[in-house]
Amino acid sequence: MDMVILLFLFLLCFLSVYLILFGEISYRIKVLSLVILSLTLVVFIRMGFNRYFTTTDESYYLSLIARPMWYKTAIVSGYVTPILLRLFYRILGDPVKVVIWNSVFFMVLYVLVIFFSYRRFGFSDRHSLTAILLLFLTRMYLWPTIEARPQQVGLLVGLILVVLTISVNLRPSTVLLFVSIYILLIFSHVLSFILYSTLILGYLTIKIVFGNAGESYLKKLDVTLVSILISWAIFVFMPYSYYLIKNMTWILNNMAGADMTVYQFSLISLGFLVISSAGLYTFVRNLPISVGRFFEVFWNSIVDVLARISSKAILIVAVLGIAGAVVLQIILERSIYSDVYGGSLVSFLFFQMGNIAFGLFYVDGILYKIRQREISDLDILSLLWIFVSVGLLALSFFMPEGKVWTFRNWFLRAIQYFVIFAAPVAAHALLKDEMFKHGFKSIFKPLLVASLVSMLIVISVLNTSRIPGFYDYDVVWPSDLVTLCQHYPSAGYYPRTEGSMYYTEFAVRNLVTACGGELLREPSILQGSVLASSDRFYVYTGNYVPLSLFNFERTPGTRILCGRNSNTLAYAGSLLGISKLVPVRGGEECFSYCLSSADSVILIGGSTSNPCVRVLESSRVVPVRVDSIMVKTPSSIYTTSLGNPWWNTTEGLFVIQAIKYRNVPILILEGTNIDATMAALEYYARSRMHSNSLINNNTHYIVGKWEETDGRVLDVARGSPEDSNGFSPSDRITIIERG
């Protein structure tokens, strides 16, 4: 069956290639053929070989679907992608469909935007379509286009920004447009913002230095510098950027041996941009004519030297240079390449044939254009990307490396931008052949060319999809897991096999989270019933019954279980009049009390401080979930803010809920912070004093909000000697949901 599919894929590629390169038909039909080819490739890469292909980064961004307040706590390199994924999820309601349709949407969008961008650069329909076709030769285009991560959006927004920078004349209205797009770019993908800003500044500086630009390019440079400064200032001082900037600060501290705080990094980076912008502005505005002439003479000398050297010799040197860069990248991440390709050099070279062919086309095209002195704006941009890529490769040797994650693939990341700007040059190398200039007398050569290009596309697609048998790559979603997630979205999942790779478990956990379930780590917490199973997973449901708060009965043997904070435990015991107080240090202790006790149990504190609550929540046996900023009920989601520092809080959310688990009544009182937990305890104590008049007979849980009103704080809730904000009995408590 796989061979039949591959044959179909090859024939479809052959038909598209032949129509685009040799077909005498409307360009609209050719664009349509590219769109159809794109859709087919997406489906094959995503769903081929009886699994769903993904990556660690993509699975992480998909998991944010299950975190409504992701922008407050998640480390993301861009904000547009999580928003789009959540939008797709509202429409489709299935995480896997979200990924597939996101890939389909962007694959088609890329084809259309790139086509009209090339046309805007002045290329013909035929040249533009051929360039897009050659992009399918390389994985450096295919996967970034498909993968649901911020770079997918940032690359496209940056391309539009470059096109506008080159082709649009500045007017007051367009100045605002440029500033807006730069802001959109930085919030789409920070790395794309940095790379495209560097590229555009380099391009404008070259145009000004060589004297080919008038006042319009000086104005464009001014607008670009202002847009970059405004965008970066907004980004670094937006509260929700904190975690990303913290990550950037960590990287810089490790590289430079510094000890900057996030705030210091924000100020220093902004100050560096201001000084650099002022320096560049002063340089270009006061540039002597002699400097421009010097660079022009220097460039012409290089062209003259290249004209005297054999084309084959230059091509060999260029290929050796590319090979050297690739070897350095492999050295940086040799363990990854060795694992993925099974240590086989033959496999590596075979599956890189599409990348190699694209590189050869580009080198041949750019050398020809340099010798003919036909360098266009897009050629300049592609050459600049080479310098950016080499610079990032050198920088990668100084990047920190963790036990699992690395930051040493910057060269490959830059190449993913480069190929879009290099494709028209590569297409020029193909189209300058006499066959395309004067037609062809025999059908044999066009058929041969179409067959070779189609074969290279298929190889590149196989390289992208990491086909089993040739690749040791298992960051995938098994088809049985996808089916189980669709049928049992809120269940607990436990792998039937042990010893899975870290990246595999990471991707699987993220999909289960996106579905609304949880990947269980230890079989000891599997106390529920088996809903379903497959070759790889057991699916469990919690064995519990919601219990009315009104009917929760305290007995002489009722115990209060809390974490290690003895003050909290003593305060709860005195407030509720219970003497059996148990400090719990680990999850294993909870089962001896919660599952074997004949009496009721009261749990104080959230999953961070109380191991018993953590065990119950991980077993998915409570209707309401709580974390540091959010309460999620079966029908609603409520959020609050974090303290700064953590103990300086003026509000919080709390939950009082009861369940019957293994015939043991359990009452849980927890909050988003210690003050909110004390508010839950206070409210429950008041309800007991009033004979449960605050709680009706049908209430299984209560969600409340605590707000500071009197500037006092209980000693038991004080997180620091400086803590003057926190819970006291006279603070405001508001009930916001009963269920």
In CATH, 545-738 is 3.30.379: yes
Highest mean pLDDT among 51-55, 94-98, 446-450, 680-684: 94-98
pLDDT higher than 70, residue 570: yes
pLDDT at 543: 60
Residue 588: band (very low, low, confident or very high) from pLDDT cuts 50, 70, 90:
low
More confident residue, 396 or 453: 453
Q: What are 255-312's pLDDT values in tens digits? A: 888 889 888 999 999 999 999 999 999 988 887 776 667 777 777 777 777 777 777 7
The whole-chain average pLDDT of the chain stands at 83
pLDDT at 635: 67
- If one counts every other C-beta atom within 10 angstroms of the C-beta of residue 173, the result is 7
Rounded CA-CA distance 118/120 in Å is: 5
Ranges of each domain in the chain: 2-465, 476-542, 545-738
pLDDT at 696: 62
Residue 589: band (very low, low, confident or very high) from pLDDT cuts 50, 70, 90:
low
pLDDT at 524: 44
Residue 331: band (very low, low, confident or very high) from pLDDT cuts 50, 70, 90:
confident
Written as six digits, the tokens of 159 are 């391309």
Written as six digits, the tokens of 715 are 């000693």
pLDDT higher than 80, residue 724: no
pLDDT at 526: 47
Residue 335: band (very low, low, confident or very high) from pLDDT cuts 50, 70, 90:
low
Handedness of CA 576, 571, 681, 564 (dihedral sign): negative
pLDDT higher than 70, residue 693: no
pLDDT at 131: 95
pLDDT higher than 60, residue 636: yes
Q: What is the mean pLDDT of residues 27-34?
A: 91
Written as six digits, the tokens of 618 are 């991980």
Please give the model's pTM, rounded to 2 decimal places: 0.82
Percent share of the chain, pLDDT over 70? 88
Q: What are 649-665's pLDDT values in tens digits? A: 888 899 998 888 777 88
Q: What is the mean pLDDT of residues 402-431?
A: 84
pLDDT at 158: 97
Residue 317: band (very low, low, confident or very high) from pLDDT cuts 50, 70, 90:
confident
pLDDT at 1: 52
pLDDT at 385: 95
- Contact between residue 386 and residue 418 where contact means Cβ atoms under 8 Å apart: yes
b/e burial code for range 283-318 (CB count within 10 A of at least 16 → b):
ebeeeeeeeeeeeeeeeeeeeeeeeeeeeeebeeeb
- Contact between residue 725 and residue 648 where contact means Cβ atoms under 8 Å apart: yes
CA dihedral 84, 164, 369, 431 (to 10 degrees): 60
The secondary structure of residue 643, as a DSSP letter, is: P
Residue 186: band (very low, low, confident or very high) from pLDDT cuts 50, 70, 90:
very high
